[in-house]
Amino acid sequence: MFKRIFGKSKIEKSLLEEQKNLSKNDLIPTHIAIIMDGNGRWAKKRAMPRIAGHHEGMKTVRKIARCADDVGIKILTLYAFSTENWKRPKQEVDFLMSLPQQFLKSFMPEIMERNIRVQLIGEKDELPQTTKAVLNEAMEKTKDNTGLILNFAMNYGSRAEIVKAMKDIMIEVRDGKLTIDDINEETINDYLMTSQLPEPDLLIRTSGEVRLSNFMLWQLAYTEFWFTDTLWPDFDEQCFMEAILDYQKRNRRYGGLKGEEMN
């Protein structure tokens, strides 16, 4: 199950202890999604510019991607830039658009070594050309990798995603490729940006906020939520493990009942 998890650390021992009482099928979530929040507040607390917080948050992405890979997570989706984030000051937006290049330039050798595959959801065509080129290059270079999927939500908004899916389905109906009776939940899933991915098992949001902020509204219908006051730059491997441990204690019923509850 574990490739290398910090060399018999307290985190590993705690996780392994918890696993003794768990079914093997419930040990590790397949897909974890994270709303990375609190970079600006982290910087403000230190009298630093907001971009310093984003730079520090980039380091956290690297740490958590490594940790996710080490414990056997299959998909890690990170909410990197929302469709609403364009409203921020231009200097901050420009810096955020430069982060993929900085991150991928420094992390790409390890990405390849770890067999990680980079993917993207969001309206890619609206990104600056340099940002788009870097992401395209990373996706192309890693397309045959079979390990962790590191999925960035970049210029992503869930409502816009759902609207686009509805329009695409209506076009298919208009053109006779679908009928009204063909439209069900599975059909809608097929037209979302995440159509090739399983829905998240666990959503983590940092910084103390307890809302979804237009993130994967359809896909999170039965996802377990875990909120923490920790700001994203301070979020570390131990925090990540705590979220997984808490997830493992949840009773995921999907609207039904499990065996012992039916008696």
Torsion angles phi and psi, residue 89, rounded to 5: -55, 145
Q: Is 50 annotated as a binding residue?
A: yes
Q: Could you give the residue ranges of the DSSP H alpha helices within the chain?
A: 10-19, 39-45, 50-71, 90-113, 129-142, 158-174, 185-190, 237-248
From the candidates 21, 25, 26, 37, give the one annotated as an active-site residue.
Answer: 37
**Residue 263 confidence (pLDDT) above 80:** no
* Residue 38 annotated as binding site: yes
Report, as an integer, the average pLDDT of 197-210: 98
55 marked among binding-site residues: no
Residue 240 lies in a domain: yes
Dist. CA 73–CA 244, nearest whole Å: 10
Consecutive H or E run containing 121: strand 117-121
Residue 97 CA to residue 140 CA, distance in Å, equals: 19
- Nearest Cα to Cα of residue 203 among 86, 53, 36, 87: 36
> At residue 97, does pLDDT exceed 80?
yes
Q: So what's the pLDDT on residue 10? A: 56
Flag whether pLDDT at 94 surpasses 80. Answer: yes
Nearest to 151 by CA among 189, 105, 199: 199
* 158, 217 contact by CB (below 8 A): yes
Would you say residue 43 lies in a domain?
A: yes
pLDDT bucket at 27, cuts 50 / 70 / 90: confident
pLDDT at 234: 98
| 143: helix, strand or coil | coil
**Would residue 149 count as lying in a domain?**
yes
Say whether 83 counts as a known binding-site residue. Answer: yes
- The 3-state DSSP class for residue 136 equals helix
pLDDT higher at 26 or 148:
148
Which pLDDT value is given to residue 21? 46
| Model confidence pLDDT, tens digit, residues 178-193 | 999 999 999 999 999 9
18 and 186 Cβ atoms separated by less than 8 Å: no
Average pLDDT of the residues of the chain: 91
- Decide if 241 is inside a domain: yes
pTM (predicted TM-score): 0.88
pLDDT at res. 251? 79
pLDDT band for 26, please (50, 70, 90 cuts).
low
Query: Is residue 129 classed as helix, strand or coil in its secondary structure?
Result: helix
CB atoms near residue 76 (< 10 Å): 23
Which residue in the list 85, 136, 145, 214 is annotated as catalytic? 85
Give the residue from 173, 213, 209, 211 showing the smallest Cα distance to 191. Answer: 173
In a domain, 18, yes or no: no
Domain that holds residue 70: 29-157+199-249
Judge whether 246 counts as a catalytic residue: no
Sign of CA dihedral 71, 76, 79, 81: positive
The residue behind tokens 């959801």 is 121
37 is catalytic: yes
Kindly state whether residue 188 falls inside one of the protein's structural domains: no
pLDDT band at 152 (very low <50, low <70, confident <90, very high): very high
Can you give the length of the chain in residues? 263
CATH code, domain carrying 80 = 3.40.1180.10
Asked if residue 40 lies in contact with residue 85, where contact means CB atoms within 8 angstroms, the answer is no
Asked if residue 250 belongs to a known ligand binding site, the reply is: no
Total domain count for the chain? Answer: 1
The answer to whether residue 218 sits within a structural domain is: yes
